A and B are shown apart, each in its own frame.
Chain A
Amino acid sequence: MKSNELLKIANLSTGFRIKDSFYNAVDGVSLTLKKNEVLAIVGESGCGKSTLATSIMGLYDPHNTRVKGDILFQDKNLAALSDEEMNEIRGGQISIIFQDPLSALNPLMRIGEQIEEGLLYHTKLSKAERKNRALELLEQVGIRQPERIIRQFPHQLSGGMRQRVIIAIAVSCKPKIIIADEPTTALDVTIQAQILDLLIELQAETEAGIILITHDLGVVAEMADRVAVMYAGEIIEEAEVEELFSNPKHPYTRSLFHSIPQLNSNSDRLNVIKGIVPSLVNLPRSGCRFSSRIPWISAEAHEKNPQLHEVAPGHFVRCTCYRNFNLRGKRGGRNYELYTNK
């Protein structure tokens, strides 16, 4: 690993057991997170982005899940560590912020105790010091009256405050990497902006690398340095954020951008990409995985075994179908359009 690289994922596959066979939800993903970088992973529901996050954290039950490939962090391969060894890393070196703050805190435990719990296992702080650190963290994430809050239970706090508490837990041991798995999805819009600002602020202070998992391209534009777009378990495009937004290549990425509602258009309908992500069991494991949703593109336009191609420095696209792709097209006497208005 190079000195500026924090985390290097190489050919990672995570498969779930369904009736005695394993089906990969993450299929051969390679990614690198650099120091002080915000890497966004974008994709629609079911594309494997949360599975990727959970695999990095090693939170899967080995009986029903199979993780293959390498997750290199410092001098260790996280994918090969035991659960006990991972406990040293989890919460201490790498931490995660989950999507739903309403259910992510233990309802029977006081806020203070839940923040201090991580400190107990990753630091040598005394009881009093842990309490002070918890107060300090709450203040840092913008919670007023922390002395009162640490004695409260989760149900006494609002959703936004609970997400702040979860962020406080995540940054409590000064991790090198923070994985934020849709941190704002469950929150209302005004709170979303505050939480994102808070994350940016904390990153500036701690210089942690952030893996931001989201399906909100607005959030990506605001926060990310680099973006990886996932579809059906694979990364189909990866680029710096400005490059991706100004010059999206892959049909899927372009479709995503076209799905963003435009304020200045008169259309009262939203653009929705036709079809759904194929289920794990039905997913074709060879060929371009997006081909079923763009049937007007001829089979020759796709690669047999789609690879990532570097189309500009640092800009990678999978498959060759991007080269002559249009949002609508004709094939075999039928007219096709990417979007449905239903």
Chain B
Amino acid sequence: MWKTIVRRFLIMIPQLFVLSVIIFVLAKFMPGDPFTGLITPQTDPARIAELQEKAGLHDPVHIQYLRWMGNAFQGDFGLSYTYKRDVAALIGERAMNTFWLSLLSVILLYAIAIPLGILAGRYQNSRLDKAIVLYSFITYAIPTFVLALVFLFLFGYQLEWFPTKGSVEIGYEPGTLRYFWNKFYHILLPAITYAILGTTGIIQYLRSEIIDAKAMDYVRTARSKGIPMRKVYSKHIFRNSLLPIAAFLGFTITGLLGGSIFIETIFGYPGMGQLFVSSISSRDYSVITALVMLFGFLALLGSLLSDIIMSIVDPRIRIE
């Protein structure tokens, strides 16, 4: 298994190389550059050219690419033009914010979706099942930004139960309990919004897996051993039904760092999604390229993680 994991990592190198070239070229094709936004009628074009020269934007493209890659290998993704900060540190900080938000979101998501999926599958065609399926279709049909705005308006501005922006209020000492509590308080509403909207896939998957599993021969075998129904569900049906969910788990774990563009933007939460959008609109190349590289790497890592998880939970799958 270790051999496979090392091999998979080696395969990632050419994949990431291709990705880096594509990202770099696409970033270059975007109209404008980091200084476009600074131009006013009073700006001296010579001053802009000077800044561009200083930033290396006049060098041949391949030189720019090699410089970027060379630095990236040393963990230096350059300086954000807009934030005037080291990109790695900036992303690191945002990644932590996003990580906590996503973690809570995913925990809530599973906490809602798994019991509902199980209930719907177990009591198929009952009123409960129909209600759950209806719920899952409604949440599937609601666009993220609509529910996010409604919740923000209702619970944030009208009822004032939750803060409406940011990740923590100013004036709290990092490391204290109050600081953590305040952070948790800030991520709660966005996380609930995310969790409510994301449940459809898991509910539907789990429901249909359970319905399929119920009719399986091994369930009949288990029943014919005289095992109580409750145990047949917990030991035979659920375990088999959770396999497809486990298949996504790797992506879910690496996705924790990806963040949600809509949720973060609407709730004014300084995370990866928000950083990504703002960096694109301000042509902050070094941030864009670093972020896309990171997302690409996470996607590859997610698929590897998923394979490893599957090989652990399903004995029929062994990676040799």
A91 touches B228 (CB 8 A): no
A91 touches B217 (CB 8 A): no
A90 touches B220 (CB 8 A): no
Q: Determine whether B216 belongs to the interface, using a CB cutoff of 8 Å to chain A.
A: yes
A95 touches B316 (CB 8 A): no
Nearest Cβ on chain B to A214's Cβ, whole angstroms: 18
Residues of A within 8 A of B174 (CB): none
A109 vs B315: C-alpha distance when bound (angstroms): 9
B240 touches A96 (CB 8 A): no
Residues of B within 8 A of A95 (CB): 224-225
A100 vs B220: C-alpha distance when bound (angstroms): 12
Q: Which of A57, A84, A103 touches B224 (beta carbons < 8 Å)?
A: A57
A105 vs B225: C-alpha distance when bound (angstroms): 12
Q: Which of A7-15, A71-79, A114-122, A244-252 lies on the face that meets chain B?
A: A114-122
Nearest Cβ on chain B to A170's Cβ, whole angstroms: 8
Q: Which of B218, B225, B239, B314 touches A91 (beta carbons < 8 Å)?
A: B225
A122 touches B217 (CB 8 A): no
Interface string of A84-106 (1 = CB under 8 A from B): 10111111100110101001111
Residues of B within 8 A of A87 (CB): 226-228
B228 touches A84 (CB 8 A): yes
B217 touches A104 (CB 8 A): yes
Residues of B within 8 A of A117 (CB): 222, 225, 227, 235
A107 touches B316 (CB 8 A): yes
Nearest Cβ on chain B to A61's Cβ, whole angstroms: 9
Interface string of A144-160 (1 = CB under 8 A from B): 00000000010100000
A108 touches B314 (CB 8 A): yes
Residues of A within 8 A of B165 (CB): none
Residues of A within 8 A of B314 (CB): 107-108
Residues of B within 8 A of A118 (CB): 225-227
Q: Is the interface of B mostly helix, strand, loop or mixed?
A: helix
A104 vs B228: C-alpha distance when bound (angstroms): 18
A321 vs B310: C-alpha distance when bound (angstroms): 61
Q: Determine whether A225 belongs to the interface, using a CB cutoff of 8 Å to chain B.
A: no
Q: Determine whether B229 belongs to the interface, using a CB cutoff of 8 Å to chain A.
A: yes
B240 touches A59 (CB 8 A): no
Q: Determine whether B223 belongs to the interface, using a CB cutoff of 8 Å to chain A.
A: yes
A96 touches B228 (CB 8 A): no
Interface string of B265-301 (1 = CB under 8 A from A): 0000000000000000000000000000000000000
Nearest Cβ on chain A to B61's Cβ, whole angstroms: 53
B240 touches A108 (CB 8 A): yes
A59 touches B221 (CB 8 A): no
A103 touches B217 (CB 8 A): yes
Residues of B within 8 A of A136 (CB): none
Q: Which of B217, B227, B229, B239 touches A121 (beta carbons < 8 Å)?
A: B227
A104 touches B316 (CB 8 A): no
A98 touches B240 (CB 8 A): no
Q: Which of A84, A98, A107 touches B315 (beta carbons < 8 Å)?
A: A107
A87 vs B225: C-alpha distance when bound (angstroms): 8
Residues of B within 8 A of A109 (CB): 235-236, 239
Q: Which 6 A-B pairs have the closest CB atoms?
A: A91-B226, A90-B226, A91-B225, A118-B225, A103-B217, A153-B315
**A-B residue pairs in contact (CB < 8 Å), sample of 12:** A57-B224, A59-B223, A87-B227, A90-B225, A91-B224, A95-B225, A103-B218, A105-B221, A106-B218, A106-B239, A108-B239, A121-B226
Given A104-B218, A107-B218, A107-B314, 16 more pairs with CB closer than 8 A = A59-B224, A86-B226, A88-B226, A89-B226, A91-B225, A91-B227, A96-B224, A98-B217, A105-B218, A106-B236, A106-B239, A107-B315, A108-B315, A109-B239, A118-B225, A155-B315
Which residues of A are at the interface with B, using a C-beta cutoff of 8 A? 57, 59, 83-84, 86-92, 95-96, 98, 100, 103-109, 114, 117-118, 121-122, 153, 155, 166, 169
